[in-house]
Amino acid sequence: MSALPSAIDTPPASGGAAAAFWKRLRAGDEIAIAVTFLSALTVILVTAVLVFELYRKSAISRHAFGWSFLISTTWDPVSGTFGALPFIYGTLVTTALAMIIGIPLGVGAAIFLAELAPPLLSSSLSFLIELLAAVPSVIIGLLGIFVMIPILQQIVPPVQDKLSWIPIFSGPFYGVSLFTAGVVLAIMILPFIISISREVILSVPNDQREGALALGATRWETTWKVVVPYARKGIAGSIFLALARAMGETMAVTMVVGNDPKIAHSLMAPGYSIAAVIANEFAEATGDLYQGALIELGLVLFGVTILVNGAARLLVMSTEKKGTS
């Protein structure tokens, strides 16, 4: 007596779409799609829950100050007056400094390691750079205090004497400052730019290089005019990752920025960032309004990060369209 076929082995007799679905299900396609879809959906749900909780927990502050919270420069927990503008300013300035310093150094180092350095030197330096990415931010902050600040105190004043007529270089330099925070952030984001950009450059097909060299291009011309344009999207991705890291960094910035809630026109003056003030004051915040203001700062940081990254991506996209037109 032959065994009856099981239900799972018997495809439905009618319906072409149902039969195709059954075939994909047995092959594992639908299960794989469902699992990967849930993985992607989890990221969206976590982000949505984060924004919702920040918005809900900051209700007291939002109702008390409204949109003036974003443009007010007063941060006075004693009187219950809170404004986010000094922290937004400090976050944007230190991030901009980090990107101005970090992008040329990071991309240049990635090009050297991927295209010009001997293989042994390239792999050895790449290993050290990846180790640097794993160093905790508090260690980078200590590096900033005990190494970078003494070095900058020797370098900055002579340069500042010649550029003091420029407002952003005016005023005394005591070590802790917006400029120091920008330099420390640049050190932190360099491993991300170098590692990702190097891998992207190495993934460029050798046919691109050999074709340019066969046409008489030098090694540097091949790298700069052929390899880098081919890898520009991946390099831009590494820059976006570094940008997000710089804007959200907390401990290293807290230790070297000076923690002064004022808008200073000089980069040599102390400042404050959104992440730093939340880390410094949340544990000691008394009262619902104080805590609500700090939580609203977190919501503002999230919004500023989205806006800055979105603007950067639009800028890259517009540049690529102009280059292909």
pLDDT per position as a tens digit, 179-190:
999 999 999 999
Is the confidence at residue 7, as pLDDT, over 80?
no
**So what's the pLDDT on residue 310?**
85
pLDDT computed for residue 163 by the predictor: 86
Q: Give per-residue pLDDT as tens, 58-73.
A: 999 999 999 999 999 9
Average pLDDT for 270-282: 94
- End-to-end CA gap in the chain: 73
pLDDT digits (tens, 9 = 90+) for 113-164: 999 889 899 889 989 898 888 889 999 999 999 999 999 999 999 988 888 8
Tokens matching residue 209: 């290089």
Distance CA 144, CA 180 (A): 8
Which residues have CB under 8 Å from 67's CB, separation 6+?
none
Confidence tier at 2 by pLDDT (50, 70, 90): very low
pLDDT at 200: 93
Tell me what pLDDT residue 309 has. Answer: 84
- Angstrom distance (rounded) from CA 182 to CA 96: 8
Which pLDDT does position 321 carry in this prediction? 64
Q: Is the pLDDT of residue 5 over 70?
A: no
Task: In whole angstroms, give the CA distance from residue 254 to residue 234.
Answer: 31
Is the per-residue pLDDT at 1 higher than 70?
no
Question: How far is it, in rounded angstroms, from Cα 112 to Cα 19?
Answer: 55
CB 256 within 8 A of CB 184: yes
> Could you tell me the pTM of the whole model?
0.85
Mean pLDDT of the chain: 87
pLDDT-based confidence at residue 26 (cuts at 50, 70, 90): low
